[in-house]
Structure 1
């Protein structure tokens, strides 16, 4: 065992969080799962505590989850991790890098700036512009800027009459003033997650719909399978994750009739998909990577 204090930021009791904590404990003999709701930062002394435990003198914090669901408060929690970094704690992935992925719009703008293929997308606060986007796309997915596993997403299409479309858009806008609108593509009930550790490609799994749901997420009944992808798709996913500098991430990709597209780069990455889809123990691989990063040069 190596003598390091490495905490795990996550959701106590959740499979991915506990799997990561198990891997840390196996490698170091130390285990501490930290719920972000318990953090307290004293900006006068510089100390950061999780409950009564001082964590600002840990060697590292591995971030698996910041909150159960993404929301603007998640960004505030990341500032506490940024303060831990200021105190000399290695945070993986870095707080600012995670911050750029929590907000769907921030992620999308960065991907498009790097010419990564994505579904046609419109960003607007205007009801009329949103109506025009639906008419142009034929079928559109309205996505909250902060969400995971397709939560809060709404499909609005031209099968509705104009009044129905407007009512649905107005209802979505009440909770989402800045509307993120993406053309709904024919994915044949499957999309992929490509796994990267320290920028190195580890493999890919598919999420395959088992119902008539429009999305393939496990939350909606999808199942994980292994995926065999072309070098072109892997290279595209590599370019997609590169600007974000994540220690561990997955890139969500789909193959369409007009070519592969990227949906997003994950702020935290999918341990379950890696394990169930392709038999990769991502938690162990991540901890081995982290320990190697923490070794003195």
Structure 2
């Protein structure tokens, strides 16, 4: 079995769920290669030669390469279409709303002065319309702050600032499993980045069902804000870091191993991972598949 990770950045080795996941896959007998497509690639003769491709980046070059591999029959975890949708915050928010996912009131514009009227009703959160556009998100409280912003060719995603006293909540979906992590923002230490797990309610689980339908995948992360009227989703991530998920590396590795083998991932219980072995402690008969 060969699994290829497509990414624009090397996988970090420190405190990385992804790196630990890849190490587990290798220990289970899979060949795992991390490919940074910086070299010359002949796309006219590109042919998939791996059992599974793992698309980790929303970089345009990497996503285009994943699309080319898929066109040749390659199978990819989180397809190019999913990555493109998640990178486009405007399209992603519209898709979430269309699938009855609770989101803040949202606008989009390139004309910042057009937001002056909206500021009369309270502060706004401005996010670049595309993830990785080189401009960070910011909160704008008044017209003076708005006029201080530099014009940009990129569209803005504009949302009403949500009033909440709770810590940021992140939901991670791995197959049918959903995990919740409370996290301080901004996180200034590794411990704060790990956050604190919390019990996912039926309402939050249903929200991830709708997010999955909107994105077309069951592997993703969402940022949730708890408001006085209920939870709202303020951002989506096509391949998050999964920090704070109990046994996150093992759960993720099982999902990817099953996808590479063409079978359904085994549902892993919270107390089922006491070591780094394969979930049934054997590579010979897991979900009907043999050792790679």
TM-score by length of 2: 0.78
2:251 equivalent in structure 1: 285
* CA distance in 2: counterparts of 1:187 and 1:123, whole angstroms: 23
* CA distance in 2: counterparts of 1:184 and 1:83, whole angstroms: 39
1:18 equivalent in structure 2: 19
2:126 equivalent in structure 1: 142
Structure 1's 151 and 177: CA in aligned 2 closer, same or farther, altered over 3 A?
A: closer
Q: Which of the two has greater helix per residue?
A: 1
Give 1:229 deviation, angstroms: 3.6
* CA distance in 1: counterparts of 2:262 and 2:202, whole angstroms: 35
In terms of mean alpha carbon deviation, does 221-230 or 252-261 score higher? 221-230
Gaps of 5+ in 2: 264-292
Give 1:220 deviation, angstroms: 9.1
Give 1:23 deviation, angstroms: 2.3
How many residues in Structure 1 have an aligned counterpart in Structure 2? 256
Matched position secondary structure for 2:226: strand
Deviation string, structure 1 residues 228-259 (Cα, Å, up to 9, x no partner): 24312221232122221224211221211121
Gaps of 5+ in 1: 48-55, 67-73, 209-215
Q: Does 1:168 align with 2:148?
A: yes
* CA distance in 2: counterparts of 1:235 and 1:196, whole angstroms: 12
Deviation string, structure 1 residues 86-135 (Cα, Å, up to 9, x no partner): 22221111111221111111111101112221112121122332112222
TM-score by length of 1: 0.77
Structure 1's 237 and 102: CA in aligned 2 closer, same or farther, altered over 3 A?
A: same
Q: Does 1:248 align with 2:222?
A: no
* CA distance in 2: counterparts of 1:91 and 1:65, whole angstroms: 12
Q: Does 1:201 align with 2:193?
A: no
1:227 equivalent in structure 2: 198
Structure 1's 113 and 188: CA in aligned 2 closer, same or farther, altered over 3 A?
A: same
CA contact (8 A) 1:186 1:256 kept: yes
Structure 1's 296 and 182: CA in aligned 2 closer, same or farther, altered over 3 A?
A: closer
Structure 1's 229 and 102: CA in aligned 2 closer, same or farther, altered over 3 A?
A: same
CA contact (8 A) 1:249 1:270 kept: no
Q: CA RMSD in A?
A: 2.5
CA contact (8 A) 1:141 1:182 kept: yes
Q: Which structure carries more relative contact order (alpha carbon 8 Å, separation 6+)? A: 2
* CA distance in 2: counterparts of 1:31 and 1:8, whole angstroms: 7
* CA distance in 1: counterparts of 2:81 and 2:131, whole angstroms: 18
